[in-house]
């Protein structure tokens, strides 16, 4: 096991529904440490950098539009194997398919084709985490 950091975003749908506290409670209950937290509205530059690998795909613009539709909560967490651990805690990308007990399984809604409205984002690898943390929390970039 390795201590690592991950970026977690409580997306605009989760923020609008008042779920930030519940998401943070679950993160802390899992044993991860909150390193940084910011309630913010994403800039177009942040979103372009964050989703650069998806540019040109059919879901890119709807995703960017959704992520800029309101405030979100950006969080850096730290802990043993926290990237894989949080992704397990978050559940499957599609809330309809996410297992009960996961954030998306318990709190997500079936939005049909709007799968991006699934409460949270979590980094998928140490490399992605480093890149994403640098976008949302430049002062923590390594």
Q: Binding site membership for ATP: which residues?
A: 11, 59, 87, 93, 104, 118
For residue 23, give the DSSP letter: H
Annotation says 50 is catalytic: no
Q: What DSSP letter does each residue of 48-78 carry, written as one string? A: HHHTGGGTTSTTHHHHHHHHTSS-EEEEEEE
Give Dmax (Cα) for the chain.
Answer: 39
Q: Considering the chain, what percentage of its residues have pLDDT values greater than 70?
A: 95
Only one residue has tokens 């390795």, namely 2
Instruction: Give residue 116's pLDDT.
Output: 75
Structure confidence by residue, pLDDT tens digits, 117-138? 899 999 999 999 999 999 999 9
Neighbours of 139 (CB within 10 A): 7
Residue 40 dihedral angles phi and psi, to the nearest 5°: -150, 165
Neighbours of 39 (CB within 10 A): 12
The residues, ordered by sequence, that sit 6+ positions from 82 with a Cβ below 8 Å of its Cβ are 4, 5, 6, 32
Mean pLDDT, residues 73-88: 98
Q: Which residues pair with 34 in a beta bridge?
A: 77
Split at pLDDT 50, 70, 90, the class of 1 is low
Mapping DSSP to helix (H, G, I), strand (E, B) and coil, where does residue 3 land? strand
Q: Which of 10, 121, 123, 133 is catalytic?
A: 121
* β pairing state of 33-40 and 120-122: unpaired
Whether CATH 3.40.50.10330 fits 3-140 = no
Instruction: Give residue 111's pLDDT.
Output: 63
Only one residue has tokens 């991006």, namely 116
């Amino acid at each position: 096991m390795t201590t690592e950091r991950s970026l977690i975003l409580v997306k605009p749908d989760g923020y609008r529904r008042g779920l930030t506290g519940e998401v943070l409670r679950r993160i802390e209950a899992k044993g991860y440490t909150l390193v940084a937290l910011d309630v913010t509205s994403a800039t177009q530059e942040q979103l372009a950098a964050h989703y650069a690998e998806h540019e040109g795909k059919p879901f890119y613009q709807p995703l960017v539009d959704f992520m800029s539709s309101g405030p979100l909560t950006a969080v850096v967490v730290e802990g043993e194997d926290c990237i894989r651990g949080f992704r397990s805690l978050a559940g499957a990308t599609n809330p309809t398919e996410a297992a009960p007990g996961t954030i998306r399984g318990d709190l997500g809604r079936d939005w049909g084709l709007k799968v991006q409205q699934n409460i949270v984002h979590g980094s998928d690898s140490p490399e992605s985490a480093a890149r994403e943390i640098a976008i949302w929390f430049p002062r923590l970039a390594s």
